[in-house]
A and B are shown apart, each in its own frame.
Chain A
């Protein structure tokens, strides 16, 4: 299909205001939160309804045009990076909360709804939505679903996948399926929903999402503890978790990170080699008792200072400091590279040591902020883009950090996703057989590889033979895939 014809078809579905095709305007969609990859899409469409999405996808399917779904564009692995000569489907106009069902503790939303709106919608009823990625004031539920977003509270409450109960999904051929029970549990069949969540937009586009709501906890208590170094802070983490306590959150920052955050948002963090933020929530009697236990463990691990949040405002300040960590790096460095990797909790100490060695070897500073409870590290490699070659060096160092995590039994990514950023590393974690098996799933959902091609897998494959004369697939032509 010619571009002009495609624009015409899309405008007949969405009206002229729902189609972006001027090159200058298309430019604002050339990347998501990962800015070192940029591709200008052929066309951007802005559907307002599930039917729109279905018609757009069917049009693409019939013309063999690849498409990429995008929510708020905050992803950090390039999952919503457009495909050249493809259509970018931006879901940010689909932001209606469709149904609130308190007795069943469910809420039904459109994919463009922003994460924090969900909790705001039901706060008066005493409920909230648990997954809270740092991007939650901007990132969309649809994007959270695609990436299986985590957040600081997922140690106790799990990830997006544990809170999505059903989804209406437009598949790559434009057909619509309803997966997961929604309000009723245990829908018969394969666990398609759990497989779909976290598939980084490669299996279809969710147009309606049913989420589980949780009752707000009776009590929340938060403390901040300062330590000499990350090793002692790590000792406290082990002590807390080894004592059978499951904190709602347990976050660590190292000295460099504390310095940056203190300069940027002044949360009143003490000067220290490492700090921990520990939050407990639940029934009052349990929280009170375990909170004392946490304080005791911090003291036993030589905490130099322990600050207990006296009220919600102080708690908010602690979290403001934590959640600003990435952005605050701008105060102590021109540029920084965010890494996301995971190690088994007991390997944290060894890996942190290795990271500091790597920093010395490269002669670069690395700030560490991480979800200590689940071993999810976010090393921030600081550099100056004005110095030739430094950006590349930072990226190399960041890669070496991930490899160190893999050596210690960890994972390439805990919450940011593989996207385009890490697909080249997938063979370090998975064998060809592992990846070929994963791609069987892709072939069942999207046999022509039209839905967000070029993500996750280093060598995406097309599936099966197609009848009739041979036509090179547009994705093959673009060099994004080889025949299966």
Chain B
């Protein structure tokens, strides 16, 4: 590695962010075994800009980081000098309840935001499981994280209405605004959604909000086969119900499809009744107690949160939603043939299935992922590795093939980050 241009000392960083907000990196700051030199915590958009300018001039490679809950995502970086932590930028800038819009700094934790919004009976309609581990809104945007309620509220790209970013040369640019309906200029907030810190640093985000539902109920059906899982999900998606979430939980002990219904009490009651009626042909139907629902439906994807198993490989399979049975069969089959044990959850109505595999050797784990990727990419979907031990990661591309638009992705990256300083190598196609 050429370090001759990297004449940056800790003091240089401290000059920008203050002495107590820059430090030498510690062991836990490493990303997939690649250890950075420094961690800096800017307190403002201007400080991010100063840091980026310095990094750009000195050829420092940098990785933006919120709470670090998504650090396992993506390929190992080619190199990494500086972690740019947004955790000090944790303020709500503006919340006008009557507009159902909020402007926040990127380092604000989603849970803290939701708590503040709850005071006005509002919420941001996103519920990624890593929120419980402290995920920040900027991190959620950068990693395009989602949860069960995407069934009704969409993903973060459907909720973000404005953004301020800092480019690798220090340029501060904004797009969108603080109104929900807005078609002025290119929608850069969408471009930065899911860009995993490879185009710039997200400094602030504006979101549209939704009213908090008054009541909720979770109806669950016990499934006896992968076929009934697919059919039960179709029975719900094809009905005139408007559930908030439709979740699959599939393990040795428990095979459930859960339907989360939210709204006003009479509406919830009537919909729950209809859902029960629609599902009773597929297995035993029951309404979950609040406590059970909290633990079971909607469910955490395996491999998420702080208590995940370090040795397991967690993937996300994206497939056409009507092919749920096929996704389950292929996953269970691939796992069985390689002697690894799977656990599966999924957003059944959306076409997103999470699987985690453990118990086999590295070769077996790699083969399972490769087999599933071969099937689901061919069928128009994708298989993304969300988390894996380093040995597995080094043998598997995290994202799989990008298709005919890879060249375009590269051109976008080259325009925004011509020096290749931001998160090099972690994104799709080695971007």
Chain A interfacial positions (CB closer than 8 Å to B): 101-106, 126, 147-148, 150, 154, 158-159, 161-162, 171, 175-179, 181-192, 194-195, 197-199, 215-218, 238, 241-242, 244-246, 282-286, 288-290, 342-346, 371, 374-376, 409-418, 422, 426, 429-431, 433-438, 440-445, 456, 463
Contacts and interface: CB of A to CB of B under 8 A. Distances in A.
Contacts of A217: 240
A213 B137 CA distance: 29
B102 to A, nearest CB: 12
Q: Lowest 6 A-B CB distances belong to which pairs?
A: A286-B267, A194-B190, A285-B270, A437-B173, A103-B322, A244-B211
B395 interface: no
A412 B274 CA distance: 45
A395 B356 CA distance: 61
B194 interface: yes
A477 to B, nearest CB: 25
Nearest to A159: B181
B429 to A, nearest CB: 8
Interface string B209-242: 0111010000000000000000000100111111
A195 B191 contact: yes
B412 A434 contact: no
Contact of B172 (A192, A199, A433): A433
A347 B154 CA distance: 27
Contacts of A241: 98, 100
Contacts of B5: none
B384 interface: yes
Given A105-B321, A184-B379, A374-B179, 8 more contacts: A178-B403, A184-B382, A186-B144, A375-B99, A375-B180, A376-B181, A430-B184, A444-B414
Given A283-B270, A411-B184, A185 B404 contact: no
A181 B239 CA distance: 24
Given A286-B266, A438-B175, A444-B408, A191 B144 contact: yes
A226 B17 CA distance: 57
B320 A104 contact: yes
B318 A426 contact: no
A223 to B, nearest CB: 18
B415 A444 contact: yes
B405 A178 contact: yes
B167 interface: yes
B58 interface: no
A375 B98 contact: no
Given A103-B322, A195-B191, A374 B180 contact: yes
A415 B179 CA distance: 12
B380 A184 contact: yes
A434 B200 CA distance: 13
A345 B190 CA distance: 23
Contacts of A148: 183, 187
B122 to A, nearest CB: 9
20 contacts: A104-B320, A177-B404, A177-B405, A177-B408, A184-B318, A185-B350, A185-B351, A186-B316, A186-B382, A188-B428, A194-B190, A244-B214, A282-B267, A413-B184, A429-B184, A434-B173, A437-B173, A438-B173, A443-B415, A444-B412
A215 B384 CA distance: 30
Given A244-B121, A285-B266, A410-B177, A187 B190 contact: no
Contact of A290 (B178, B239, B264, B320): B264
B415 A150 contact: no
Contact of A104 (B274, B321, B376, B411): B321
B179 A342 contact: yes
Interface string B155-199: 101100000010100011111011111111111101101110001
A304 to B, nearest CB: 25
Contacts of B429: 189
A412 B400 CA distance: 40
Contacts of A245: 211
B181 A375 contact: yes
B315 interface: no
A437 B184 contact: no
A317 B322 CA distance: 38
Contacts of B415: 440-441, 443-444, 463
Given A185-B350, A188-B428, A418-B184, A244 B318 contact: no
A297 to B, nearest CB: 14
B381 A181 contact: yes
Interface centre among A147, A346, A456 (most CB of B within 10 A): A346
Contacts of A416: 183
Contacts of A189: 194, 399, 402, 405-406, 409, 427-429
A101 B380 CA distance: 14
Nearest to A168: B404
Contact of A418 (B155, B177, B185): B185
Contacts of A105: 237, 321
Contacts of A102: 238
Nearest to A284: B270
A409 B178 contact: yes
Contact of A342 (B181, B214, B239): B181
A178 B267 CA distance: 40
Contact of A238 (B98, B267, B405): B98
B96 interface: yes
Contacts of A426: 184-185
B416 interface: yes
B181 A438 contact: no
B408 A103 contact: no
Contact of A414 (B181, B319, B352, B384): B181
A440 B350 CA distance: 33
